[in-house]
Amino acid sequence: MPGTFRITTLGCQMNKSDSERIKSLLISAGLHESDESEIADVILYNTCSVRQTAEDRIYGTAKHLSALKKERPDIIVGITGCMAGRDKDGKIRNRLDMVDLFFPTEEIIYLPQRISELNPSLIDPNVASSFEYEHYLQIQPRYRTHASAYVAISNGCNKFCTYCVVPYSRGRQKDRPYREVIEEVRHLAQKGCKEITILGQTVNLYNPQDKENFSVENPYDRSKNCFAALLWELNQIEGIMRIHFTAPHPKYMNDQMIDALALPKQINYLHLPVQSGSNEVLKRMNRPYTREYYIDCISRLRTKKPLIALGTDIIVGFCGETQRDFEQTLDLYRICDFDISYHAMYSVRSGTVGAKMYKDDVPRQEKKRRWKELQALMEKNVLQKNQAYAGHTLEVLVDSCTKGLCSGNSREMKRVVFRGTEEQVGTIVGVKIDRALEWVLYGAGK
């Protein structure tokens, strides 16, 4: 019987993409994926460290894992991702004594060998040593669906926002060669993929070393914005019908970048994190732009694409945030008129500049109050904006169908539910919207 593994993924789309590569690597090494951790020979957690609550989920499973190890001493428990990547002093590892493998994301390439060293019966040592990758993004992923896929173009971050652990957990930004990215997307297109989501911590700062491989017909100046040039190249690949990306940095939304949003295969949505509407808070966060710059950027975006749907990220209760600072965030929200936003209450992350320089001086109850006020504003705005879609037909990429109810995302990243058939999964259909709620649009397929 071949050995089995189970991966639990916590965190962002990048973590999900990384797990697709882990899955591919372990299957290539001869292991089979299990539906249950309780019976798997290798149990892996791909972790997030953006907020304390994300790490607490791992600590919360520690007791269960310890009990499982006592019942089945031969199982291998591993932790990777941002939680392992940022553990420079070993304090996190020391709290998880039941863990056998504790490694940062870039060391995924060594996983078969490490499993083989712990239990050669699971992976033959000769097989384990046969994998040769310069970096983990060269591993061909096992994509979650055939119709859409994540495509990572970089790993790590150079920005060092004072609240963020990513530069510590994933290291400095390392960009994949242009040729590797193009080959992966062409392969996806040949397999019938219709939608790709380009991933990177600062995705629009992409700057590959092999810029000479871009097409001579490419209209974008690679010295000003390689990412805009990449989007143009991806738009030329036959079979790909939708291109999405996350998460860009406002500082690099120059004219070329904004122009590229109008390329024909780009979805009609942009997620552009702002984090705060206060210049004082932005400065303490080490976000190198002002509220005025951000608002102007949104204005230029809407001049280019008037109907584009916009999303953002906002942190409430960052160190030193006053009520006036918070009101400036609410004001910016109203001016920018976002379709959706994702809010977080600030939590101290050890090792960051924010933890070293600033006092976490906004009481938790006040953070909750501000979060609720911002959430209420967002929900009111979402409902109002969604109702404008009633009576209109949207293009929906169907990703599921259960008991005659199909669902998928429109080009505006609106969730749409309609009556359909399982045969429509993986296809793009026109859906006329009959009813609009905060989080779902309901309609009838054509």
Q: What is the pLDDT of residue 443?
A: 93
Confidence of residue 305 (pLDDT cuts 50, 70, 90): very high
Reported as a single tens digit per residue, the pLDDT across 178-227 is: 999 999 999 999 999 999 999 999 999 999 999 999 999 999 999 888 99
> What pLDDT score does 1 carry?
64
Do 83 and 122 belong to one domain?
A: yes
Q: What is the pLDDT of residue 146?
A: 87
User: Which residues make Cβ contacts (< 8 Å) with residue 445, sequence separation at least 6?
Assistant: 396, 406, 418, 419, 420, 424, 429, 430, 431
326 and 406 belong to one structural domain: no
Query: What's the CATH number where 433 sits?
Result: 2.40.50.140
**Residue 292 DSSP label:** H
Are β-strands 393-402 and 405-410 bridged in parallel, bridged antiparallel, or unpaired? antiparallel
pLDDT over 70, % of the chain: 99
Is residue 433 over pLDDT 90? Answer: yes
Q: Cβ–Cβ contacts within 10 Å for residue 195, how many?
A: 22
User: Do 275 and 376 sit in the same domain of this protein?
Assistant: yes
Question: Per the structure, how many domains does the chain have?
Answer: 3
Residue 312 above 70 pLDDT?
yes
**What dihedral angle (degrees, nearest 10) is formed by the CA atoms of 386, 389, 391, 393?**
-130
**89 confidence band (pLDDT: 50, 70, 90):** confident
Mean pLDDT value of segment 233-258: 96
* Pair 147, 39 in one domain: no
- Both 376 and 420 in one domain: the answer is no
Domain end residue (candidates: 90, 108, 136):
136
Q: Based on the domain organization, do 383 and 416 belong to the same domain?
A: no
Same domain for 369 and 357?
yes
Structure token digits, residue 356: 């070293």
In this structure, the answer to whether residues 162 and 291 fall within a common structural domain is yes
- Dig out the tokens for 294 from the structure: 């951000």
Instruction: Decide if pLDDT at 330 tops 70.
Output: yes
pLDDT of residue 290: 98
Domain final residue pick, 136, 156, 174: 136
Position 143 scores a pLDDT of: 87
Query: What does the pLDDT read at residue 210?
Result: 95
**For residue 445, what pLDDT is reported?**
62
Rounded Cα distance between 441 and 419, Å, is 12
Burial category of 124 from C-beta neighbours within 10 Å (exposed 0-12, middle 13-18, buried 19 and up) = middle
User: Does the pLDDT at position 2 exceed 80?
Assistant: no
pTM passes above 0.75: yes
What pLDDT, on a 0 to 100 scale, did the predictor assign at position 110? 95
pLDDT tens across 250-302, in order? Answer: 999 999 999 999 999 999 999 999 999 999 999 999 999 999 999 999 999 99
104 and 212 assigned to the same domain: no
- Tokens 């810029």 sit on residue: 211
- Are both 248 and 149 inside the same structural domain? yes
Backbone angles phi, psi at 384, to 5 degrees: -60, -45
* Strand arrangement, sheet containing 309-316: 269-271, 309-316, 340-345
Question: Do both 273 and 159 map to the same domain?
Answer: yes
3-state secondary structure 174-209: EECCHHHHHHHHHHHHHCCCCEEEEECCCHHHCCCC
Composition of the chain by helix, strand, coil, percent to 5: 40, 20, 40
- Is the model more confident about 64 or about 248? 248
* SS3 (DSSP) at 65: helix
Domain boundary among the residues 108, 136, 164 is at: 136
CATH number of the domain that residue 333 is part of: 3.80.30.20
pLDDT at residue 37 is higher than 90: no
Residue 224 confidence (pLDDT): 83
* 4-32 per-position pLDDT tens digit: 999 999 988 899 999 999 999 999 999 99
Residue 446 pLDDT exceeds 70: no
Report the alpha-carbon distance of residue 358 to residue 350 in Å, rounded. 12
| pLDDT score of 38 | 83
Domain around 362: 140-387
CATH number at residue 110: 3.40.50.12160
Are 123 and 155 members of one domain?
Answer: no
